[in-house]
Chains A and B, each alone.
Chain A
Amino acid sequence: MCLSIPSKVVKIDKKANVATLDTMGIKRDASLALMEDGAVEIGDYVLLHIGFTMNKIDEVSALESLETYKEILEIMDREENKTIGEGS
């Protein structure tokens, strides 16, 4: 019930206040009634929930998280290699 699906905005019908969203290849219309006017643009990533766009996904923040994960992974790998090196 509370699950929402990350999707990409591919079309906006301003008159109907509806966006067409692409969810991994499946296209669906979603109401923009819960979004401020003009807040959503084509190319934005949003969360789709029971026929509504419930908010925008902050791409910068998502990329920051992914970059942090990469860095953590590298640090952990380095630490592990060091431990293996010391052990041998």
Chain B
Amino acid sequence: MNLKNLYDDFRDGGTIKTFAKIIQKDAKKLKRSINIMEVCGGHTHTIMRYGLKQLLPKNINFIHGPGCPVCIIPKERIDHAYILSLQKDVILVSLGDMIKVPASHGSLQDARANGADVRFIYSPLDCLKIAIENPKKKIIFFAIGFETTTPMTAVLLEMVIKQNIKNLFFHINHITVPEVMGVLLDDPTNKIDAFLAPSHVSVISGAKIYEIFPKKYNRPVVVSGFEPVDVMESISMLVKQFIENRCELEIEYKRAVDFEGNVKAQKIIAKYFKTRDFFKWRGLGNVAKSGLKLKNRYKKYDIEFIYKDLLPLTEVKDHKLCICGDILKGIATPLECKIFGKSCTPSSPVRACMVSSEGACSAYFKYDFI
């Protein structure tokens, strides 16, 4: 096998069409329409980019899920980043996804235009170099992401401790997937019949985190890879579960995901992080046990503790015409939003869903808004 096979063969048009035919054939045996929620924004982009929606029969629908870690951060937490970036002798650092995300005072890009030292990095480990090169500055890493990205922040903290670096701090916005899937299903008006579970969250956490959904909620789950062939095969697996009257947790993305996940990564997360009682998700409100924070013994690295008097906790409302909240819950699509593609565009976004690489509005604007 060549590296190229891992890209090209899982994007092969012939294989995609073959799965489309199998799904078309099997879907005739479905007793009713099924709504599949792709939890992760990466899957939303694959579905839109490769036109997979158009290849499916009318009785199979996608519901886009809340799996975009940038989109679900409430305004008040991005305001924290903005406020922190303007403090004296602070360098605020985050991953590139955060550049254009607007909040109450503007985006981090705007903060930089206003004189703040805001830097966007490729890897959390880049913070070490910035901290060593700027010993008189406070380096604040605004950490975002699901289970996929959390262990990398934990490794950074471990290196900060080992290398005795005194000027690197953390604003933690790490969140976890299963709790919010549960919240969506607890809503009696939900229309979700099955889940396509995220690819790389599952690489870290293992498929075990979804066991509850077939068992307790009677919703089948297939852990899918990100390539279009993966998504089509996963949909085919879900359709077969329905016509064979099964309700199971299955893994399509077997080349990268197993039941247990990356145990070493899970251990380092458990070493440095604890679960928050609640984390507020944009559009979904407080979701119990869905966010992480540093354990008390690492408080001296936690900027939310150090600057607690500076960082407001009051809720900030979203733009009144923006329906991103409903889009994140899967009860609306971007095309139903009055400002989509008009006053909200990638160059002038009203909210994160339009600029995040995993945002549903961004996917619709790029691939469906023609």
Report which A residues bind B (CB closer than 8 A). 1-4, 6-8, 22-24, 31, 33-36, 45, 47, 49-52, 54-55, 57-59, 61-66, 69, 72-73, 76
Contact = CB atoms under 8 A, between A and B. Distances in A.
Nearest to A7: B3
Contacts of A69: 9, 12, 15, 18, 229
Contacts of B40: 2
Nearest to A23: B3
B337 interface: no
A59 B262 CA distance: 17
Give the 6 A-B CB pairs with smallest separation, nearest first.
A51-B123, A62-B255, A6-B6, A61-B255, A61-B254, A33-B155
B241 interface: no
Contacts of A55: 203, 256, 262
A35 B264 contact: yes
Interface residues of B, number: 57
25 contacts: A1-B70, A1-B95, A1-B149, A2-B149, A2-B358, A4-B148, A6-B6, A7-B3, A31-B123, A33-B158, A34-B151, A34-B155, A47-B203, A49-B152, A49-B200, A50-B124, A50-B149, A54-B203, A58-B254, A59-B255, A65-B255, A69-B15, A69-B229, A73-B15, A76-B21
Contact of A3 (B7, B18, B42): B42
B144 interface: yes
Q: Helix, strand, loop or mixed for chain A's interface? A: mixed
Contact of B262 (A8, A24, A51, A54): A54
Given A57-B255, A69-B229, A73-B14, A51 B203 contact: no
A62 B6 contact: yes
Contacts of B125: 31, 51
A62 B255 CA distance: 5
Contact of A58 (B5, B70, B256): B256
Given A1-B148, A34-B151, A62-B255, A54 B200 contact: yes
Contacts of B69: 1-2
Given A1-B144, A52-B123, A66 B9 contact: yes
B4 interface: yes
A24 B7 contact: yes
A61 B21 CA distance: 24
B204 A54 contact: yes
A76 B23 CA distance: 12
A70 to B, nearest CB: 9
Given A3-B357, A50-B149, A62-B6, 7 more contacts: A1-B95, A2-B146, A2-B200, A52-B151, A54-B148, A54-B151, A54-B203
Contact of A2 (B7, B15, B19, B148): B148
B1 A2 contact: no
Nearest to B5: A66
B3 A8 contact: yes
B255 A58 contact: yes
B18 A76 contact: yes
B201 interface: yes
A69 B5 CA distance: 13
Contact of B203 (A4, A36, A72): A4
B209 to A, nearest CB: 14
B362 interface: no
A78 to B, nearest CB: 12
Contacts of B346: none
A2 B256 contact: no
Contacts of B4: 24
B112 to A, nearest CB: 20
A51 B5 CA distance: 23
